[in-house]
Amino acid sequence: MAILEIKKIEESSELELQLFDSRIQAGFPSPAQGAFADSVDLNHELINNPAATFCARVIGDSMVDSGINEGDMLIIDRSLEPHDGDIAVCFIDGDFTVKRLLITDDGISLVPANRKYPVIKVPKESNFVVWGIVSHIIKKLNR
């Protein structure tokens, strides 16, 4: 349920990869129309605010129904204001967790995306902070 290995994104890091200059069909295959064109910088694609962006690797299965699995890498933007429905990394009573935010007039609840886990209603007296908002999920596909 906790998230470990939180790492800061370095502002000076660049990673350019070749960009395939054709759309890739997820339905019926079509012949490739292009070849490799320019490059794409993943930092530019994934990170809006480097000074406030961190990565963390997921441990546990409480968010599997939202497509977040154990071992996935989260890109977390601490500069984003939390909104109802956001997937957020939260610090509650000494532990980090990733959950969907449910913000109502009655307070905040942390909603898992796995029926095995209960909704966590955040008590007003708890040590709680929305640490950052998940902006991207990086998955490794098994071979």
Q: Is 12 a catalytic residue?
A: no
Residue 142's identity, in one-letter code, is: N
Catalytic annotation, pick one of 7, 12, 62, 139: 62
Pairing of strands 95-104, 107-111: antiparallel
Q: What is the 3-state secondary structure (H, E, C) of 50-83?
A: HHHEEEEEECCCCCHHHCCCCCCEEEEECCCCCC
Nearest to 82 by CA among 45, 128, 131, 137: 131
Q: Is 140 a catalytic residue?
A: no
Catalytic annotation, pick one of 79, 99, 139, 140: 99
Q: Which residues are catalytic?
A: 62, 99
